[in-house]
Structures are given as C-alpha cells and as structure tokens.
Amino acid sequence: MSTISNNTIAERLIAKLVNRNATIGILGMGYVGQPLALRYAQLGYEVIGFDIDAEKVAQLNAGHSHIEHIKDADIASANAAGMTASTDFSRAAEADALILCVPTPLNKHREPDLSYVVGTVDAIVPYLRAGQVISLESTTYPGTTEEELLPRLTSGGLRVGEELFLVYSPEREDPGNADFTTNTIPKVVGGHTAPCLQVGKALYGQAIDHIVPMTSTKAAEMTKLLENIHRAVNIGLVNEMKIVADRMGIDIFEVIDAAATKPFGFTAYYPGPGLGGHCIPIDPFYLTWKAREYGLHTRFIELSGEINRAMPEYVVGKVAKALNERRKSLMGSKILVLGIAYKKNVDDMRESPSVEVMELLRAAGAEIAYSDPHVPVFPKMREHTFDLSSVTLTPETIESFDAVVLTTDHAQFDYNMIRDNAQVIIDSRGVYRSPMKNIVKA
C-alpha cells in the first residue's frame, strides 16, 4: 500500500490498520454496527462497541445478540477475541478508528434528523487525539460530513488530513440476505483529503474484499442516496402499475414475471404494502431536502415517495371493500395481520409498512392481532404502540378472524393452511397467484 510522504501520523496509522494492531471503535451496535464489529473482531482487531442503550451493552458483553440473524455464538466468539461493549464514550480515546453507525431518521416534517449523528460526534470530540480516523457510515445528504462533522472534529485544534482523518463510507448491510456478508459487499469510501482517503482504504481494506474509492465524501454520500432512490423510484413505479393493472383485471405479478424473462433492459421490482427498512423509505427525502438549498425541486423522487407512502391506505381500502362484499364493516371486525417485519424472514421492524396498516385498521375501529414468527412480542417503537404478542397460527385461529391481511411473506407461514381456513385473505405480496373466492389481491 502506498503511503503519504511527509505525513508520519498517517503512515503510522495506516501501518497499525494494515498490521491489525489498531483498536476499532464502533459507535452504534445495531443492524449495521454489530456485523461490522464482528468482522473486525474475527480479523484479530481489538474492538469496542459503543451504544447508549445500557441493556443492549450488557447483553452483548454477556454474549447475547438482540438481532435474530446474528447468533449468540458469534457474539461470544467475538468477545473471546477481545470485543467489548460500552456506554462510556470516554473510551473513544482508546480507539484508532471510530466508525459511526447510528440512525438518520426523518422528523415529523419529513426533514433529516441528524440528532443521533451530531450527538454521537459531540460525545467523542472531547476524547479525540492525533492519529485517529473517523468514518461516518450513516446514510445522509451530500455535504453532511463536511458541514456537520468537520467543524466539530476540528474544534479542539486537531487538523483533519494531518493529525485526524475523516472519511465517509456508507453502510450496505442487507439483514437476512444469505447471499452477501459484510466482507463480500463492495465498500464505497470517500476521504475529506487525499491522506484521509488513504487511511480510509487501509481501515476498510482489511475487512472488506473490494474497496471503491471516491474523489470526495460528497460523492460517496450521493452514491448511497442514488442506490436507494433507484429502488424507491422503481418500487413506486410497480406500485402504481399494480393499481392500474388491478383496475383492469390484470395480475401485476404475472406481468412482472413475464417481463423479467427479457434478458436485457429490464430489472424486476415487485409491489407491496409500502416501503420499509432504515434506508429506502427515508433516504430519498435527504436528497430532496438538500436539493432545495440549490433551488431544485426533485419532482420524480417526490412523486415516487407519494405513491409508496399511499400503499398502506390502498391495502386498507382493499380490506374494507372485501369485508363490505361479505356484509361486514371494518369497524368491529377481527383482523389478523400476517408478518409485521419490513421484509420477509427477518425481525427488523424499522419503518415497516405493516405497522402503518395496523395503525390505519385500528383507527377505523377494527380489532387487530398479528402473527410473525420473527417478532414474538410487538417491540417498543418511537411512533407506534401496540400491546400485542404474535398469534400462533392454527386452523381454528385463522378461521376466527373476519379477514387476514398478508403484509410480509415470511417463508415460515403455512400458506396452504391459511388459505384453506381464512374467511378472506387480502394479499399485498402476490403469494397467492391462482384466483380463489377468498383471495383478494392488494
């Protein structure tokens, strides 16, 4: 690896990272931070996992994971290799690299909420020292690293690019995807200066198989937004096509499957009850918000956002219509929601459209229950409150509900049993392809 001439601090830090003698600090031990921490521990680095949640920290130090697809044995193995978790941010001084993996949600006005990023940076600033690299992985608008992190990191007199090194490297975790692991997903890295980029490449080059260097932190920030906006726009398109096809009596899933046989020029995206996860429902609005500063109105992105946000109401409308056709009202009906995680075969509830469907059904007077093998008890969420536990599915329980709303198509569900015993199923995922009297496509 090339070194930076006349910059001994950068050279020493690169050597520590390459030789795996560095201490890696992961700030935020959630769906992004935990896999990264495990990867560095596996490679022999000393790892400190920081989190403000004392209960989570205690569980990690006891060898327990709160994330379903990360096994307790993996945490215990990492602990044995030297990983520790802590709520004490003064220990940031011990780390040679500090990687921020904290949430970047939207506020109630659908504007960027950088409070987690800013709060975390402010918490570590008093303990920064020469010879550290700080990397932001949280998805955000272009310019965040320069505008929000840089002034804070230099407030104590340390010079970024000479004594302290600043990079942006967006996370690309896909919980539950067995085809890709942390190390096999290419890593985009942008540095504030050339020495920052070199240090960033040394930081991630040991843990990730393929590094994609960028010319700036802004370019790296925009790359992450483009990836997720691409998905959001295309999902918005198929959601709108679903509504049109339904009105025309056409099965949109049959159409998409047929179009996907074209070996070029088409990528299959599938409709659903809305967008979920920590990225796709949120990230486009980071760019639309920032674009206004430049006098731009991102009409295409905002239109797809409107379509996707309207999908839970569309599903609930289908529920109401299905009940009405059976001489029942939504108010007072018993509704079972199947699957409340944001996508199949995971326990991740972030921005799940299923929860929005539940909220709308409850507001309309329905009696709500849910079944999800990955979410045994409805978790504490910032904006949603349900005192519910997952219902065990039997022919008798299925039959007792006025309607079943399929919102997340987990593989564990016995779809034949559900079909044979449900009074009516509102299917928002295209699981049931053959027309039946008790199946309503949504």
Catalytic residues: 279
Distance CA 87, CA 93 (A): 14
Contacts of 250 (CB under 8 A, 6+ apart): none
Residue 416's nearest CA partner among 398, 440, 391, 389 is 398
Contacts of 51 (CB under 8 A, 6+ apart): 27, 28, 29, 30, 33, 57, 60, 85, 86, 87
Burial class (CB in 10 A: 0-12, 13-18, 19+), 174: middle
Burial class (CB in 10 A: 0-12, 13-18, 19+), 184: exposed
Distance CA 391, CA 360 (A): 20
Largest CA distance in the chain: 81
The answer to whether 169 and 207 are in contact (CB under 8 A) is no
Read off the DSSP letter of residue 112. B
Distance CA 8, CA 65 (A): 39
Distance CA 185, CA 175 (A): 12
Distance CA 29, CA 86 (A): 10
Contacts of 197 (CB under 8 A, 6+ apart): 167, 189, 190, 191, 213, 214
- Sign, Cα dihedral of 371, 377, 382, 384: positive
- The upper half-sphere exposure of residue 338, i.e. CA atoms within 13 Å in the direction of its Cβ, equals 28
Taking CB atoms within 8 Å and a gap of at least 24, the contacts of 302-306 are 303/236, 304/232, 304/233, 304/235, 304/236, 304/237, 305/232, 305/236
Distance CA 373, CA 410 (A): 8
The answer to whether 117 and 137 are in contact (CB under 8 A) is no
The answer to whether 332 and 364 are in contact (CB under 8 A) is no
CA 116 to chain centre: 15
